[in-house]
Amino acid sequence: MDTSSELQATVDALAQPGKGLLAADESGPTIAKRFERIGVESSEENRRAWRQLLLGTPGLGEFISGVILYEETLGQSADDGTPLPELAARQGIVPGIKVDKGKLALALAPGDEITEGLDGLGKRLAAYRQQGARFAKWRAVYNVSDTLPGLAAVQANAEALARYAAICQQAGVVPIVEPEVLMDGGHSMARCAQVTEAVLHEVFHALHRYGVALEHMLLKPSMVLPGKDAGHAPPSEVAMHTVQVLKRTVPAAVPGIFFLSGGQTPSEATANLDAMNRLAPLPWRLSFSYGRALQEPPLLAWRGDAANAAQAQQALLLRSRLNGMACLGKYDAAQESTAS
* H-helix or E-strand spanning residue 286: strand 285-290
Q: Which of 113, 220, 268, 296 is catalytic?
A: 220
Read off the amino acid at residue 210: Y
Check if 228 is active-site: no
User: How far is it, in rounded angstroms, from Cα 136 to Cα 169?
Assistant: 10
Q: Give kind and range of the element (H or E) at residue 32.
A: helix 28-37
To the query of whether residue 220 is one of the catalytic residues in this protein, the response is: yes
Residue 34: burial class (beta carbons within 10 Å; 0-12, 13-18, 19+): middle
| Residue 276 CB partners (closer than 8 Å, separation 6+) | 238, 239, 242, 243, 282, 286
CA dihedral 322, 333, 240, 316 (to 10 degrees): -30
* 285-290 and 20-24 beta bridge pairing: parallel
Point out the catalytic residue in the list 26, 113, 159, 178.
178
Catalytic residues: 178, 220
